[in-house]
């Protein structure tokens, strides 16, 4: 989309990945 640059998309993906990893780790521990 023209509203977001590649850097914005990469930052969003990185944030989602770290959040998903945290949730997955918590699910494994629980």
pLDDT of residue 16: 96
Whole-prediction pTM value?
0.60
> Using CB atoms within 10 A of its CB, is residue 5 exposed (0-12), middle (13-18) or buried (19+)?
exposed
pLDDT of residue 1: 58
At 1-30, the pLDDT tens digits run: 578 899 999 999 999 999 999 999 888 886
pLDDT of residue 3: 80
């Amino acid at each position: 989309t023209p509203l977001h640059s590649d850097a914005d998309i990469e930052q969003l993906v990185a944030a989602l990945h770290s959040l998903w990893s945290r949730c997955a780790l918590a699910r494994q521990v629980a």
